[in-house]
Amino acid sequence: MSIPGGLAVLVIALAADPEATRPSGVAPAWAPGPYLMLDETLIVEQDGLGREVNHPSRLPEPIVTGYEDGCFQPWLTVVRDLRTRRFRMWYNVPASPGNTGESRLAYIESEDGIHWIRPHRLLETPPITFGASVIDEGPGGHDPSRRFKFGWWKNGGLQVAASPDGLSWTPLADGVVLPVNHDISAIDWDPIRGRYMALVSVNVAVGALKGLRMPHQSVSADLVKWRSPPWWIVGPDSKAAIEKGETQFYGMSAVVARGGLLVSMVKVLRDDLNCEPGKKAAELHDAQRPFAGLGYTVLAWSHDGEHWKRETEPFLDRNPHPGTWDRAMTWVDDQLVVGDFTYFYYGGYRWGHKAERFTERQIGFAHMPRDRYVGLAAGGNSGRLLTRTGTMSSSDMTVNARVDPGGGELRVRVVDKEGRPRAGFDWEDCTPIKGDRVDHPIAWEGENRVLRGEIVRFEFRWKQATVYSFDLK
């Protein structure tokens, strides 16, 4: 698949084309967004634009540590309580000192999502191998006694429990609800389709990828009965230079819905490399293996909640500075939209995949302006983008863009399905946009309300700017 800007995108399975399945002559609605430039199906034409994966900014030190907080795995969940506004985190600590194969669920809170109130609390749960995947269904759920859901791996598959407060847990079923042969399992909620998702790791049994970890998926209405067996959703891209060699995946998680799109994070594992070139694994505190391993996170997205596309370029890469706490691994395990920002929580390792797991596996924090996963950039020459058609059900538009306040400019016009500009909504009718905001308001001479019910396209033109998304309200 050819992508403007030269970025490789791996397609394991394509979602059904919405234009092909919609009745003839019926345009999709331009419902409230956001509409991310990550979503290539929005774009019919573009010229003079380069596609860029954005990279969040990280804090220099971990926010939850191995030595103080007991973290020894990259699995975690962070939610923000709607009532108290506090951030709540669940993560794994060893079930007993030195125990590498059994976990307990630890709990900690924060006022800002960065600084955490210690000490952590150890929760009573069924036995856990690994996993700290928690869903908060909110105070308005149909069963307050089961507001929180928890998924983990034990005894050959996914197990699940529920809680009224996220602290005391009761199994939803007796033992495994979805058999999986590898010990990494996460659950998520798909609000677009109103169902649960299991994102699980499978150790491939046959073929060229035998012995490698690959993410699979299943879906469920109740967390107990799952579509089985789970299907393969992510694999290595043989055309990507960065994935030459033994490329496998240490899980997929952190699903958020942005408009009609699900966005997730994939943990890439290279167990055939060392984080420091020229060093041997033993020099990186791993004397048992030929390589200590390294890992990073890439973006994935889905149009239908079952089939996924992904980037090969790192979204959150390893720390570029030797000796830093997250030099070997940077695996995002949760993301959270907070106001104008998206927060990312990731497991960071200093030396490698198996090295010093009780002290050097810690949790880090990164952030970026909301919805800036991928941008379309234009330099000094003007770039142009034309969207698909849609029926207007909204009135106001905002654009998430960084526009050079000097020579940069962004304008939007509204055209009909044949590409003819609507009166009052042409280039000269649009107030030019400058500056850096996630919600630049778009103002035209025409009255927005006259567009309601009309079938239209949006045409964007900009220079010295990067556009990440637009929204309709």
Give the integer Cα–Cα distance in Å for 88 and 81: 7
292 with 383, same domain: the answer is: no
Q: What is the pLDDT of residue 19?
A: 42
**Which pair of structure tokens corresponds to residue 10?**
């791996």
Q: What is the CATH number of the domain that holds 179?
A: 2.115.10.20
129 with 254, same domain: the answer is: yes
44 with 64, same domain: the answer is: no
Q: What is the CATH number of the domain that holds 435?
A: 2.60.120.260
Give the integer Cα–Cα distance in Å for 468 and 438: 8
DSSP class of 78:
E
Residue with tokens 């759920």: 141
Query: Among 217-221, 239-243, 295-299, 394-398, which is the least confidently predicted range?
Result: 394-398
How far apart, in Å, do the first and last CA atoms of the chain sit?
Answer: 33
45 with 118, same domain: the answer is: no
**Distances from the Cα of 201 to the Cαs of 188, 234, 420, in angstroms?**
14, 10, 50
300 within 8 A of 309, measured Cβ to Cβ = yes
**Residues 26-83 pLDDT 10s:** 678 999 999 999 999 999 999 999 999 999 999 999 999 999 999 999 999 999 998 9
Among the candidates 342, 369, 396, a domain finishes at 369
Give the integer Cα–Cα distance in Å for 412 and 432: 8
Considering the domain boundaries, does residue 7 fall inside one?
Answer: no
Considering the domain boundaries, does residue 8 fall inside one?
Answer: no
**Residues 435-461 pLDDT 10s:** 999 999 999 998 888 889 999 999 999
Tally the domains of the chain: 2
Q: Write out the residue range of the structural domain in which residue 224 sits.
A: 57-369
128 with 38, same domain: the answer is: no
Cβ neighbours around 31 below 10 Å, total:
14
Give the integer Cα–Cα distance in Å for 192 and 379: 36
Specify the pTM: 0.93
Q: What is the pLDDT of residue 379?
A: 86
81 with 163, same domain: the answer is: yes
